[in-house]
Structure 1
């Protein structure tokens, strides 16, 4: 596309003239953008649902603490304590909510971040 499109006036209305090829490129770009926008909305909705699930999981674990496991620690390091796990779940949910701009829906306990 040219950096300076040809400006014309039709019936007193200022317009920009583009070639057929440039117009087809613009239409293709518009279709691709529409498709990407729809996918991004679906992805955002999935992330918001996952964040709500993490919040619910943290609340459930907090209300009914699990007993500490007597199993051997994993080879990668010490096991997570319940408190550390709850803290990490809440931190990640908060981080995702900050990115998506979505607050918790239907619970009213937390305000949008």
Structure 2
């Protein structure tokens, strides 16, 4: 299984170590079907926009994935769902339901690292 990460789990970010020995498959972008909400300490991927969100692809083992589900508050805060990548292809990612993210500011660039501030 391939997992798309776009915030604190990316290389150099504070929660990256939670990916353990997951193999990094490189940089990626989602298809332009999303928005990136800014929750201050972390972002949330939300369906229904027109932004291609920047991130990284990893191949976690099932034990690591179970730990990540707990870290991401899955399925209460985030839900792990299949998404489409830019240029085709699918993977899984943690998404916040649109209703939960309705009033949150957006990161227009779709890139957590270039959010500023």
| TM-score range normalised by the length of the shorter chain | under 0.3
TM-score, length-normalised on structure 2?
A: 0.23
In terms of Rg, which structure is larger?
A: 1
- Greater relative contact order (Cα < 8 A, sep 6+): 2
Greater helix proportion: 1
- Larger fraction in strand: 2
Q: TM-score, normalised by structure 1?
A: 0.24
